[in-house]
């Protein structure tokens, strides 16, 4: 019966090793290196076995990055006595490093633990060393493993809290000096303690069990192989180990299971354990759990609450705050595939929630790991934007637009006030962006319809003293003849600051009998407030017409009320302004306001100059248009003197030249003439 049992065991073992051989994608490369630990001023020689495409010494490392497993030897056991470990792990894609220190009869356990910890750092440093065989070939995860004395030293190394050590695996770990049992109280990394029931060299009760009990990791497993011996954790080429085991196990121990079967039981748990923690194969932890619950040939204890901790770190990104109607870009990280609770797939998605919404992403990788994270998108309400009601105005009129709903406003015109004025030349839609107190924006629009068939015509007649010709009874049109007249109304500067858009398209559109531009002003007769201003064209006979070329009877006003009364003021750029004595009912095309007749002006009869006979006009030489003819007007004259062929304020007789006639015939006789307070600027 024992023979049949042994044959069955050997058959199973041979099948397992056959599967291992068929599943091995990597050949084994070999290397011997000595690393210098500057912190301890110590050389640390090591044997390295690594994945390669062809077997041999110092052959190139296979493509990819591979986790490191540090395997520490037992007392008087050569590093080469663990060939079964590297022959199994290297083909599976692990770099196995065996420290070749503390091989004498008086090993220093503390130094040995330091060597184990240091080698994890040294291999990671090799990954960044362009001159190294292992450049860009070392993955950033490491396991420390040891047998007997090396197992106890591995516990000492794990207690050092080296962040580069991912997990601990010990094989029949022996108590050390300093104590590995005591040091285990500082171990917090995932730990697998493997022992044998028949270990008479380092009995479990005084070695592995107390070490396991002191480990503080939330994921730790104690795995005791039934019939396992101390020295069967080597490859069998450990003469002194077996000698010591033979002398220690004379009575009450055994029988031992076959070494190959003990290796199988060891690898049954070691391989999925390493695959989980070092290769992040999330399915591998299920293999470990199934083994512990349904496997045979071992006993186990485990604290697995942390073993199910997801190795994948999902990150849905930082919480965001957007405005209603805006789009948020969500970018996750941590895996290779991403599934959002919106139904979208991809690392980056865009969402436009109407209200504050929590989004969840499930992140997965090719190894079967998955994890989830959430990101909150806060939605601030947009302001209730208003641009006001649509309007209809007459061509050339001003429209007032008033926005509401926010704390700041940005119009399509470039203006930034809540209330703006516009003078559209055609029907135009204006948009405003309203910003609320929370920084959110909303838009609104208003359409201003421009009608070319409206407006109230104000008819005014006036003569300019400077341009008047007594021989003809009309004014000269010299500025028009020499091409000095501007195409755009000239009253945008001080003191008028009139922003009207009155203009003509080209010089040919200026009337041949035009003298100059005039500015008309309509005021509320009770308050004196300006209701509207319009620039018109002064003709040689004193008539003032609209710049549109279509209104010969006067100038169109667009903000006046029909049949209402207004005080009318006429202004010129270098003649004294006049105001109507009585309010004028508009439109007044049937009874034009005639400032060539004395008594129609406001004042004491001294506000107009007699141009000859019964014709009166506006005093010349108010060069700065302030309503007083004085030394400041002389300054204007003097500044412009000797200029010819230009459109100048010092040209009082409007002939295009600033010369002695302007001073002698107009400025000097009119000095000290003062306009009424109502028209002075």
258 and 226 in contact (C-beta within 8 Å)? no
Pick the more confident residue, 188 or 313. 188
Q: Which of 233-237, 253-257, 387-391, 545-549 has the lowest mean pLDDT?
A: 253-257
Q: In the prediction, which pLDDT does 303 show?
A: 85
User: Which DSSP helix (H) or strand (E) runs through 474?
Assistant: strand 474-475
Q: In the prediction, which pLDDT does 223 show?
A: 97
Q: Name every residue whose Cβ is closer than 8 Å to that of residue 288 and which is 6 or more positions away in sequence.
A: 221, 269, 272, 273, 276, 307
By percentage, how much of the chain surpasses pLDDT 70?
95
Pick the more confident residue, 250 or 272. 272
Residue 253 pLDDT level (bands cut at 50, 70, 90): confident
What is the per-residue pLDDT across 312-357, written as a single tens digit (0 to 9) for each? 788 999 999 999 989 999 999 988 899 999 999 999 999 999 999 9
Q: Is the peptide bond between 495 and the residue preceding it cis, with omega within 30 degrees of 0? A: yes
What is the per-residue pLDDT across 140-173, written as a single tens digit (0 to 9) for each? 999 999 999 999 999 999 999 999 999 999 999 9
What is the gyration radius of the CA atoms in the chain, in angstroms? 51
Q: Which two tokens stand for residue 442?
A: 């909303």
272 and 256 in contact (C-beta within 8 Å)? no
**CA proximity to 358, closest of 337, 371, 372, 338:** 372
**CA proximity to 203, closest of 252, 269, 146:** 252
Q: Which of 11-15, 106-110, 551-555 has the lowest mean pLDDT?
A: 11-15
77 and 100 in contact (C-beta within 8 Å)? no
Q: In the prediction, which pLDDT does 562 show?
A: 86
Q: In the prediction, which pLDDT does 260 show?
A: 96
Residue 309 pLDDT level (bands cut at 50, 70, 90): low
What is the per-residue pLDDT across 105-131, written as a single tens digit (0 to 9) for each? 999 999 999 999 999 999 999 999 999
Average pLDDT, the chain: 92
Question: Residue 2 pLDDT more than 80?
Answer: no
Residue 251 pLDDT level (bands cut at 50, 70, 90): low
Residue 6 pLDDT level (bands cut at 50, 70, 90): very low
**CA proximity to 277, closest of 392, 191, 207:** 191
Residue 546 pLDDT level (bands cut at 50, 70, 90): very high
> What is the rounded distance in angstroms from the CA atom of residue 408 to the CA atom of residue 410?
7
What is the per-residue pLDDT across 34-74, written as a single tens digit (0 to 9) for each? 999 999 999 999 999 999 999 999 999 999 999 999 999 99
The mean pLDDT value for 544-563 works out to: 91
Pick the more confident residue, 306 or 237. 237
Q: Name every residue whose Cβ is closer than 8 Å to that of residue 244 and which is 6 or more positions away in sequence.
A: 201, 231
> What is the rounded distance in angstroms from the CA atom of residue 575 to the CA atom of residue 390?
41
Residue 184 CA to its chain's centroid (Å): 47
Q: In the prediction, which pLDDT does 305 show?
A: 73
Domain residue limits, the chain: 25-303, 320-380, 391-451, 456-670
Q: Which two tokens stand for residue 425?
A: 């030349």
3-state SS string over 249-296? CCCCCCCCCCHHHHHHHHHHHHHHHHHHHHHCCHHHHHHHHHHHHHCC
Count of C-beta atoms within a 10 Å radius of residue 321: 15
Q: In the prediction, which pLDDT does 310 show?
A: 62
Q: Name every residue whose Cβ is closer than 8 Å to that of residue 131 and which is 6 or more positions away in sequence.
A: none
Pick the more confident residue, 438 or 451. 438
> What is the rounded distance in angstroms from the CA atom of residue 359 to the CA atom of residue 241?
60
What is the per-residue pLDDT across 374-424, written as a single tens digit (0 to 9) for each? 999 999 999 999 999 999 887 667 899 999 999 999 999 999 999 999 989
Instruction: Say which CATH superfamily domain 25-303 falls into.
Output: Alpha/Beta hydrolase fold, catalytic domain (3.40.50.1820)
Question: Residue 82 pLDDT more than 50?
Answer: yes
What is the per-residue pLDDT across 557-605, written as a single tens digit (0 to 9) for each? 989 998 999 999 999 999 999 999 999 999 998 899 999 999 999 998 8
**CA proximity to 74, closest of 245, 258, 210, 253:** 245
**CA proximity to 330, closest of 313, 341, 318, 321:** 318
Question: Residue 22 pLDDT more than 80?
Answer: no
By percentage, how much of the chain surpasses pLDDT 90?
83
Residue 339 CA to its chain's centroid (Å): 23
Q: In the prediction, which pLDDT does 19 show?
A: 35
Q: In the prediction, which pLDDT does 435 show?
A: 95
Q: In the prediction, which pLDDT does 396 show?
A: 67
The mean pLDDT value for 197-216 works out to: 96
238, β-bridge pairs: none
What is the reported pTM?
0.53
Q: In the prediction, which pLDDT does 280 show?
A: 85
DSSP string covering 483-505: T-S-SB-S-SSTTT------B-S
Q: Which of 20-29, 388-397, 586-595, 652-661 has the lowest mean pLDDT?
A: 20-29
Highest mean pLDDT among 15-24, 460-469, 596-605: 460-469
C-alpha angle 513-516-520 in degrees, rounded to nearest 5 = 115
Q: In the prediction, which pLDDT does 604 show?
A: 85
């Amino acid at each position: 019966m024992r023979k049949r049992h042994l044959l069955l065991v050997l058959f199973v073992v041979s099948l397992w090793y056959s599967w291992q051989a068929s599943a091995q994608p990597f050949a084994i490369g070999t290397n011997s290196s000595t690393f210098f630990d500057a912190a301890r001023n110590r050389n640390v020689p090591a044997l390295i076995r690594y994945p390669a495409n062809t077997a041999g010494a110092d052959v190139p490392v296979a493509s990819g990055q591979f986790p490191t497993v540090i395997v520490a030897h037992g007392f008087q056991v050569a590093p080469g006595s663990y060939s079964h470990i590297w022959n199994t792990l290297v083909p599976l894609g692990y770099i196995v490093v065996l420290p070749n220190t503390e091989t004498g009869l008086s090993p220093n356990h503390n130094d040995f633990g330091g060597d184990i910890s240091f080698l994890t750092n040294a291999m990671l440093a090799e990954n960044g060393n362009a001159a190294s065989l292992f450049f860009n070939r070392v993955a950033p995860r490491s396991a420390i493993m040891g047998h007997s004395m090396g197992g106890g030293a591995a516990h000492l190394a794990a207690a050092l809290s080296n962040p580069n050590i991912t997990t601990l695996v010990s094989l029949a770990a022996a108590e050390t000096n300093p104590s590995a049992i005591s040091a285990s109280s500082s171990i917090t990394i995932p730990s697998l303690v493997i022992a044998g029931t028949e270990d008479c060299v380092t009995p479990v009760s005084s070695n592995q069990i107390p070490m396991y009990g002191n480990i503080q990791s939330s994921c730790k497993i104690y795995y005791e192989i039934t019939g396992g011996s101390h020295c069967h954790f080597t490859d069998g080429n450990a003469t002194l180990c077996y000698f010591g085991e033979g002398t220690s196990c004379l009575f009450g121990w055994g029988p031992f299971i076959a070494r190959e079967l003990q290796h199988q039981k060891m690898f049954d748990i070691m391989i999925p354990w390493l695959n989980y923690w070092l290769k992040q194969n999330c399915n591998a932890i299920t293999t470990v759990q199934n083994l512990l619950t349904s496997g045979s040939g071992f006993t186990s204890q485990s604290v697995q609450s942390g073993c199910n901790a997801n190795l994948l770190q999902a990150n849905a990104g930082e919480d965001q705050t957007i405005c209603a109607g805006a789009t948020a870009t969500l970018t996750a990280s941590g895996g290779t595939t991403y599934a959002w609770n919106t139904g979208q797939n991809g690392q980056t998605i865009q969402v436009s929630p109407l209200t504050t919404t929590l989004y969840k992403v499930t992140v997965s990788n090719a190894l079967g790991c998955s994890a989830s994270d959430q990101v909150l998108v806060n939605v601030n309400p947009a302001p209730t934007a208003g641009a006001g009601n649509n309007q209809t105005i007459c061509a050339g009129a001003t429209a007032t637009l008033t926005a509401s709903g926010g704390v700041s406003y940005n119009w399509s015109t470039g203006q930034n006030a809540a209330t703006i004025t516009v003078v559209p030349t055609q029907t135009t839609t204006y948009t405003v962006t309203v910003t609320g107190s929370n920084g959110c924006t909303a838009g609104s629009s208003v359409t201003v319809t421009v009608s070319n068939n409206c407006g109230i015509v104000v008819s005014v007649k006036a003569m300019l003293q400077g341009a008047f010709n007594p021989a003809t009874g009309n004014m000269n049109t010299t500025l028009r003849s020499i091409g000095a007249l501007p195409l755009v109304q000239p009253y945008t500067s001080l003191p008028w600051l009139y922003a009207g858009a009155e203009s003509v398209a080209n010089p040919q559109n200026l009337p041949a009998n035009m003298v100059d531009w005039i500015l008309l002003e309509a005021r509320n007769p009770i308050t004196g407030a300006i209701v509207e201003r319009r620039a018109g064209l002064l003709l040689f006979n004193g008539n003032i017409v609209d710049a549109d070329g279509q209104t010969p009877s006067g100038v169109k006003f667009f903000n006046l009320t029909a049949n209402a009364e207004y005080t009318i003021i006429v202004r010129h750029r270098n003649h004294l302004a006049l105001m109507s004595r009585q309010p004028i009912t508009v439109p007044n095309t049937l009874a034009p306001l005639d400032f060539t007749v004395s008594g129609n002006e406001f004042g004491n009869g001294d506000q107009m100059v007699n141009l000859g006979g019964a014709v009166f006009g506006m005093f010349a030489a108010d060069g700065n248009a302030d309503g007083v003819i004085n030394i400041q007007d002389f300054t204007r004259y003097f500044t412009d003197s000797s200029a010819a062929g230009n459109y100048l304020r010092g040209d009082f007789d409007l002939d295009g030249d600033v010369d002695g006639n302007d001073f002698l015939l107009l400025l000097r006789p009119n000095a000290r003439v003062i306009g009424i307070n109502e028209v002075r600027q």
